[in-house]
Structure 1
Amino acid sequence: MLHEVTFQSFNQRDTVYGWIYVPAAKPKGIVQLVHGFGEHSRRYFHMIVKYLEAGYIVAADDHVGHGKTALENNTWGDWGEAGPHTMTEDEHRLKELVCEKYPKLPYFMFGHSMGSMIARDFIARYGNELSGVIICGTPGIFPIGDDVVAELDRLIADGKGAESDPMLTAKLMGWMCERCGEIKLGNEWICDDPYVQKDHAEDPFDAFTKPTANRALRDFIDMFRQINGKEWAEKVPATLPVYNIAGDQDPVGMYGQGVYQVSNWLAETGHDVRTKLYPGYRHEIHNYADLKEEVCAGVIEFLDGTIRKYL
């Protein structure tokens, strides 16, 4: 069964489009899937199917400025003016809608890349509403130039928040291809499979190659700043199990260093966190043909194990 749902965004401007995928069997839990920067939730269809086969309902939406939500609202790359918690609050609203339809089931969240940042903000605010969380391709302390922040602040102060400067995005993220050899598309950091790169670059629902509004890019930077350090980890319920996964050649996680930073913040504040790095793989570990089955199996093992152990 498939439900399409819509709801008003926290930004009070956009209508968010989401989907609830339901297995043709009695569900044992729910996984809310949170996609990353510049993409959309259907890029995770392989993973969605695996979770369905394992007996889980899957909920997902396309963030403001992304995918079908951006297409229907004509707001590509523009996240609105409600600030860096907008997507977190939208994910909370989606969870409420899902729980109205399917109450009293164990509820998990899976967030990849920017989605992991949203998930980390979510668990600091609403972690007591979840049974567990999976963060995939997450950053620790991320290199952000003060000059980029200053220029964005100047542009926004000058009334140019809804405009975009691709050079600032390049300054913020362009370094991530530094270990990728020959660069043809600029997205080689996501995966070393040329087909995945091409699919990502040509996807009509993928906004990664479309301009991101200056105000949205500033909110993106603030996302990093609100989920760092032990101060963030202390806001996460200590009873919430966390599974932190990534490729050790992922620049977003600073080639493993940032991934372990996040796990250490959680471990040092008394949390149950399990960490797994996949050697030799870049950012989208769930899209490698030779790895995606293993990644999904590991997540399902975490989901099933959490239900058995804690619930």
Structure 2
Amino acid sequence: MLHEVKFPSFNNRDEVTGWIYVPACEPEGVVQLVHGFGEHSRRYFHMIVALMDAGFIVAANDHVGHGATAIANDTWGDWGDAGPHTMMEDEKRFKDVVCKKYPDLPYFMFGHSMGSMIARDFSTKYGDELMGVIYCGTTGVFANTRAVREKVDAAVAAGKAHEADPAFVGELFGWMFSRCDEGVKLGNEWICHDPYVQKDHAEDPFDAFTHPCHNISVRDFIDMMLCIEGKEWAEKVPTDLPILLIAGDQDPVGNFGEGVYTCANWLIDTGHDVITQLYPGFRHEIHNYDEIKFDVETTLVEWLTMQL
């Protein structure tokens, strides 16, 4: 069964589109899937099906400025003016919609890339509503954030908040191609070695990765990362919330493994129950590699089942 739902965004402007995928069995629980920067939630369909096959309801929406939500509101790359917690608060609103339809089920969150940042922010405010959380392809201390933010601040102060300067995103992400030995042709090679995944990502009409992101949205993205840095962030996460960190060790978002362990250590040092698994030799989208996607999905299902 599939429900398409819409709900008002925290930005007080957009209507967010989401989907609730329901298996044809007695559900074990709910996994809320939170997608990354510039993409959309249907890029996780293989994983969604695997989770449904394991008996989980999967809830996934397209963020403001992204995918079906951006198309419906005509707001590509524009996240609104409500600040860096907008998407996190939208995930809370979506969770409330899901729980109204399917109450009293164990509830989990999976976030990839920017989605992991949203999930980490969610964990500090609403972590007590979750039975477990998975941070996939997450970051430790992301390079260039403060230097780029100063330039974005200047553009916003000059009245260019809702203009788009691709140079800001270029500077923020440019270093991430340092281990792409095949060269840079499409501008997304850091996500995966597989040229078919790169092509699919680049040509997806619901994928806003190559659409200009408004300057104020770039600032919100940077602030989203800054608010989940350090033990100060980890101390706000409930210590009884089980956490799984999973990533490729050649993922630049996680600083090639180092940042993932940095995040794990912040949590461990503040008393959290954390499991960390890195896949050697793989880049950002471990769930889209043919070689390991089934293994990734098995790892997720086994960990989720352990929490029930």
The TM-score by the shorter chain falls in which range?
Answer: over 0.9
What is the CA–CA distance in structure 2 between the aligned matches of 1:51 and 1:147, rounded to whole Å?
40
Question: 1:183 maps to what in 2?
Answer: 184
What is the CA–CA distance in structure 1 between the aligned matches of 2:205 and 2:146, rounded to whole Å?
33
What is the CA–CA distance in structure 1 between the aligned matches of 2:22 and 2:111, rounded to whole Å?
19
Shift of 1:176: 0.5
What is the CA–CA distance in structure 1 between the aligned matches of 2:213 and 2:288, rounded to whole Å?
24
Question: 2:83 maps to what in 1?
Answer: 83
Letter matched to residue 92 of structure 1: K
Matched residue of 1:183: which SS?
coil
Shift of 1:157: 1.0
Q: Percent identity of the aligned residues?
A: 66
Shift of 1:147: 3.8
* Structure 1 segment 1-311 matched on structure 2, within 5 A: 1-144=1-144, 146-181=146-181, 182-307=183-308
Letter matched to residue 187 of structure 1: N
What is the CA–CA distance in structure 1 between the aligned matches of 2:242 and 2:106, rounded to whole Å?
13
What is the CA–CA distance in structure 1 between the aligned matches of 2:147 and 2:125, rounded to whole Å?
30
Letter matched to residue 281 of structure 1: F
Structure 2 stretches lacking a partner, 5+ long: none
Letter matched to residue 271 of structure 1: H
Letter matched to residue 88 of structure 1: M
Letter matched to residue 14 of structure 1: D
What is the CA–CA distance in structure 1 between the aligned matches of 2:154 and 2:187, rounded to whole Å?
27
What is the CA–CA distance in structure 2 between the aligned matches of 1:144 and 1:224, rounded to whole Å?
11
Contact 2:145 2:222 in 1 (8 A): no
Q: CA RMSD in A?
A: 0.6
Letter matched to residue 102 of structure 2: Y
Shift of 1:145: 5.1
Shift of 1:183: 1.4
Matched residue of 2:210: which SS?
coil
Structure 1 stretches lacking a partner, 5+ long: none
What is the CA–CA distance in structure 1 between the aligned matches of 2:287 and 2:238, rounded to whole Å?
27
Does the C-alpha gap of structure 1 residues 298 and 153 become closer, same or farther in structure 2, counting only changes over 3 Å? same
Matched residue of 1:60: which SS?
strand
What is the CA–CA distance in structure 2 between the aligned matches of 1:233 and 1:93, rounded to whole Å?
23
What is the CA–CA distance in structure 2 between the aligned matches of 1:202 and 1:165, rounded to whole Å?
22
Shift of 1:151: 1.5
After superposition, give the CA deviation of every residue in 1:9-61 in whole Å (9 maximum; x if it has no partner). 00000000000000000001000000000000000000000000000000000
